């Protein structure tokens, strides 16, 4: 039998609590540090005539993808572009009407820095989320959001842990602030998701295809909407 490392329950629990405490402290510090820059970013996203493009690489790339998904599902049209793929042609997805949110803890990611001159020339808005306000990415951005943390949860202070949690939470804060500014409510947000529309009383077919902002009128009369989805007149997103 191959030997493998083991951990006592006490050691594992102590490690878990230390990790959570470090990450909680990072979020508390982030909350206390928020200033007018955050409000300016929210205003920029609300005024965006195109789409919000979120980009990163490595662990921050995964965070960027989730932030884009959260923005899109809460009324702010957004998508993710991998920084490395942008260098090899995907930069064509970005237009002058868009806003790019570039995420890099060091603020010196080569792939992101490579695409910045093109983004600046085309006139798209640029928001940087970094842990280094003096970095090249932070300096070139229209607005910089400081997502620095005192330490990572990793005992070697190497693996992105507390820093990625901070960036993710900051993205959630932006999405929720935009959601609230747009006046989203219980009758608006559920129409964005299939499961919520189904739970509201629409049939699976209607829930998949109907783009109404509110549940079908017939759902108030029957447990499930029996109307063909084509009879549900689509409405534009807010």
The domain locations on the chain are 10-181, 189-231
pLDDT at residue 24 greater than cutoff 60: yes
pLDDT of residue 132: 96
Query: Going by C-beta distance under 8 Å and a sequence separation of 6 or more, which residues neighbour residue 23?
Result: 153, 161, 162, 165
pLDDT category at 92 given cuts 50, 70, 90 is confident
pLDDT exceeds cutoff 70 at 218: no
What is the pLDDT confidence band of residue 64, given thresholds at 50, 70 and 90?
A: very high
What integer is the mean pLDDT of 19-43?
Answer: 98
Higher model confidence: residue 218 or residue 151? Answer: 151
CATH topology of domain 10-181: Rossmann fold (3.40.50)
- Please check the confidence at residue 79 and state whether its pLDDT lies above 90: yes
Instruction: Report residue 153 CA to chain centroid gap.
Output: 22
Cα-based distances in Å from 26 to 17, 49, 170: 14, 33, 11
Q: What is the largest CA-CA distance in the chain?
A: 64
In the chain, alpha helices (H): 9-33, 36-47, 59-73, 83-87, 110-122, 136-140, 162-181, 194-199, 204-209
| Section 182-205 average pLDDT | 60
Report how far residue 190's alpha carbon sits from residue 56's, in angstroms, rounded to the nearest whole number.
29
- Whether 209 has a pLDDT exceeding 60, the answer reads no
The mean per-residue pLDDT over the stretch 173-196 comes to 76
Share of the chain above pLDDT 90, in %: 66
Which one-letter DSSP state was computed for residue 202? B
Question: What whole-number distance in Å separates Cα of residue 81 and Cα of residue 102?
Answer: 10
């Amino acid at each position: 039998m191959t030997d493998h490392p083991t951990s006592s329950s006490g050691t594992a629990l102590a490690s878990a609590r230390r990790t959570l405490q470090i990450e909680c402290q990072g979020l508390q510090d982030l909350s206390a540090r928020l200033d007018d820059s955050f409000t300016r970013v929210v205003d920029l996203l609300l005024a965006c005539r195109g789409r919000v493009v979120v980009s990163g690489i490595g662990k921050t790339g995964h965070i960027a993808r989730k932030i884009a998904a959260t923005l899109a599902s809460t009324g702010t049209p957004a998508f993710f572009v991998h920084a490395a793929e942008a260098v090899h042609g995907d930069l064509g997805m970005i237009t002058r009407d868009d806003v790019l949110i570039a995420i890099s803890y060091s603020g010196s990611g080569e792939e992101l820095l490579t695409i910045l001159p093109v983004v600046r020339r085309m006139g798209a808005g640029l928001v940087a989320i970094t842990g280094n306000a003096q970095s090249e990415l932070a300096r070139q951005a229209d607005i910089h959001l400081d997502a620095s943390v005192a330490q990572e949860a990793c005992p070697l202070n190497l693996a992105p842990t507390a820093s990625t949690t901070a960036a993710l939470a900051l993205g959630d804060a932006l999405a929720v602030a935009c959601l609230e500014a747009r006046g989203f409510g219980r009758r608006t947000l559920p129409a964005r998701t299939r499961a919520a529309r189904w739970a509201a009383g629409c049939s699976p077919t209607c829930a998949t295809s109907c783009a109404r902002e509110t549940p079908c009128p017939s759902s108030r009369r029957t447990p499930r909407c029996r109307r063909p989805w084509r009879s549900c007149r689509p409405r534009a997103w807010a």
